[in-house]
Amino acid sequence: MKIKQLQEVKNKEIKALEAMVSKLRLELSKNKVKIAGGKEKNLKKAWNIKKEIAQILTILSERREMYKQSL
């Protein structure tokens, strides 16, 4: 994910981020099937999707921690 995209993701709400994570996980599973079947040429695509998921989950955990501290 590019820096500009990451900044846009940081401004989204928690529900939108959770929806993005579920969408990316579905995309990752489809991509893994394509790789196993030999249909996907770009093998690094799965790695990039995993990285995006990790970045979004990090943002989510930071937001949740900030929310807990504000209570």
Question: Residue 21 is which amino acid?
Answer: V
Q: Which CATH number fits the domain that encloses residue 9?
A: 1.10.287
Mean pLDDT, rounded, for 27-35: 97
Query: What's the pLDDT at 5?
Result: 92
Note the pLDDT tens digit of each residue in 61-71. Answer: 999 999 889 88
Q: Domain of 12?
A: 3-70
User: Which residue is listed with tokens 């995309």?
Assistant: 27
Both structure tokens of 46: 């799965």
Note the pLDDT tens digit of each residue in 35-68. Answer: 999 999 999 999 999 999 999 999 999 999 998 8
Domain count within the chain: 1
